Chain A
Amino acid sequence: MKRVVITGAGTINALGHNVQDTWDAMKEGRSGIGPLEFRDVERLSIRIGGQVHGFETEGLFNRQQMALYDRFTQFALQAARQAVAQSGLEFSGELAAKSGVILGTSGGGMQTLDENYRTVYEDGKNRVHPFVVPKLMNNAAASHVSMEFNLKGPSFTVATACASSNHAMSQAFQMVRSGMAPVMVSGGSESMLCFGGVKAWEGLRVMSKDGCRPFSANRNGMVQGEGAGVFVFEEYEHAKARGAEILAEVAGFAMSSDASDIVMPSKQGAARAIKGALTDGQINPEDVGYINAHGTGTAANDKTECAAVADVFGIHADRLMISSTKSMHGHLIGGTGAVELLACIMALREGVIAPTINYEEPDPECALDVVPNEAREAKVDVVLSNAFAFGGLNAVIALKKAA
Chain B
Amino acid sequence: MSVKDKVIEIIAEQAVLETSDVTMESTLEDLGIDSLGLVESIFAIEEAFDITVPFNANEPSESDFDISSVATIVAGIDKLVAEQA
Interface, chain A (partner B; CB < 8 A): 45, 203-206, 208, 219-221, 262-264, 298-300
User: Which residues in B have their C-beta under 8 angstroms from that of A205?
Assistant: 39, 42, 55-57
Contact of B59 among A45, A204, A262, A299 (CB under 8 A): A299
User: Which residues in B have their C-beta under 8 angstroms from that of A220?
Assistant: 56, 58-59, 62
9 A-B contact pairs sorted by A residue (CB < 8 Å): A45-B52, A203-B39, A204-B39, A205-B42, A208-B58, A220-B56, A220-B59, A262-B36, A299-B59
| Contact between A298 and B58, CB atoms less than 8 A apart | yes
User: Which residues in B have their C-beta under 8 angstroms from that of A203?
Assistant: 39, 43
* B68: Cβ under 8 A from any A Cβ: no
User: Inter-chain contact count A-B, CB under 8 Å?
Assistant: 33
Inter-chain CA distance A300–B57, complex, in Å, is: 9
With CB as the reference atom, state the residue of chain B lying closest to A207: B56
| Contact between B36 and A221, CB atoms less than 8 A apart | no
For residues 25 through 59 of chain B, which have their beta carbon under 8 Å from a beta carbon of chain A? 35-36, 39, 42-43, 52, 55-59
- Interface size band for B: 10 to 19
Closest Cβ of chain B to A297, distance in Å, is: 8
Closest Cβ of chain B to A304, distance in Å, is: 13
Inter-chain CA distance A221–B57, complex, in Å, is: 8
Closest Cβ of chain A to B34, distance in Å, is: 8
Contact of B35 among A208, A219, A221, A263 (CB under 8 A): A263
User: Which residues in B have their C-beta under 8 angstroms from that of A45?
Assistant: 52
User: Which residues in A have their C-beta under 8 angstroms from that of B59?
Assistant: 220, 299
With CB as the reference atom, state the residue of chain B lying closest to A222: B58
Inter-chain CA distance A45–B53, complex, in Å, is: 12
Closest Cβ of chain B to A202, distance in Å, is: 11
User: Which residues in B have their C-beta under 8 angstroms from that of A263?
Assistant: 35-36
With CB as the reference atom, state the residue of chain B lying closest to A221: B58
Inter-chain CA distance A205–B60, complex, in Å, is: 10
| Contact between A221 and B56, CB atoms less than 8 A apart | yes
Inter-chain CA distance A300–B43, complex, in Å, is: 21
Closest Cβ of chain B to A166, distance in Å, is: 24
With CB as the reference atom, state the residue of chain A lying closest to B43: A203
With CB as the reference atom, state the residue of chain A lying closest to B36: A263
Closest Cβ of chain B to A189, distance in Å, is: 27
Closest Cβ of chain B to A265, distance in Å, is: 12
Inter-chain CA distance A135–B9, complex, in Å, is: 44
Inter-chain CA distance A220–B35, complex, in Å, is: 15
User: Which residues in B have their C-beta under 8 angstroms from that of A262?
Assistant: 36
Inter-chain CA distance A45–B58, complex, in Å, is: 16
Inter-chain CA distance A264–B39, complex, in Å, is: 13
User: Which residues in A have their C-beta under 8 angstroms from that of B42?
Assistant: 205
User: Which residues in B have their C-beta under 8 angstroms from that of A221?
Assistant: 56-58
User: Which residues in B have their C-beta under 8 angstroms from that of A299?
Assistant: 57-59
| Contact between B58 and A219, CB atoms less than 8 A apart | yes
Closest Cβ of chain A to B55, distance in Å, is: 6
User: Which residues in A have their C-beta under 8 angstroms from that of B56?
Assistant: 205-206, 208, 220-221
Closest Cβ of chain A to B33, distance in Å, is: 14
User: Which residues in B have their C-beta under 8 angstroms from that of A208?
Assistant: 56, 58
Closest Cβ of chain A to B83, distance in Å, is: 17
User: Which residues in A have their C-beta under 8 angstroms from that of B57?
Assistant: 204-206, 221, 298-299
